[in-house]
Amino acid sequence: HLDPAAIERLRKPGAPVVLTAKAHESFPHGTVLANGERGTFAGVRVEAVAAHDMTPGQPWHPPGEANGYVVTLGGQRIFFSGVGECVPEIQALQDIHVAFMPMNLPLDRMRPRPVAECLKTFRPKVVYLYHYDNASARWFANPEQERPDNAQEIAATIQALRDALEGESIELRDADWYRRR
């Protein structure tokens, strides 16, 4: 999710920021790339990939508003999915070395099996998951709340993805973004 204050804190002077038109409304100090566009910024190749929901009904992430990105660094193609489902533009990706993929967002759209099926379409060498522990993320933002006790549920969900990828040459790495008890 867009956090202009975090970008300002982390950005080195003059460093490029690539974002969507919608994000540019809140952070006007960047370069806009629409779905399917690409460019080179400070010597880094960036490709904007569609990121949206396909499930019928009110989409949480409508087409055209969000991007995933393929960033090429040192000959390695790194895919940051953004949010949304496994749209055809993601399925068409090629030569991805590392992929960062959301799981369980929104609930019942990108659960372990759909994530595994998506990964099998573009076959990254390594995958890291994110956005799989929304309860802890909310707790980090407001630690006065009671800490969620969902470590067992998360472990089972990640194991379900491992099981769905069994026999595939896709390495799932658990970065443990969310501190567990």
Each residue of 84-111: pLDDT tens digit?
899 999 999 999 999 999 987 656 678 8
Structural fold of domain 35-173: Metallo-beta-lactamase; Chain A (3.60.15)
Mean pLDDT in the chain?
A: 88
Q: What Cα–Cα distance (Å) separates residue 111 from each residue in 45, 103, 115?
A: 30, 6, 6
- The segment(s) of the chain belonging to CATH 3.60.15.10 are 35-173
Cβ–Cβ under 8 Å, residues 130 and 102: yes
**pTM given for the model:** 0.87
pLDDT tens, position by position, 40-84: 999 999 999 999 988 877 677 888 999 999 999 999 999 999 888
Residue 20 has pLDDT above 70, yes or no: yes
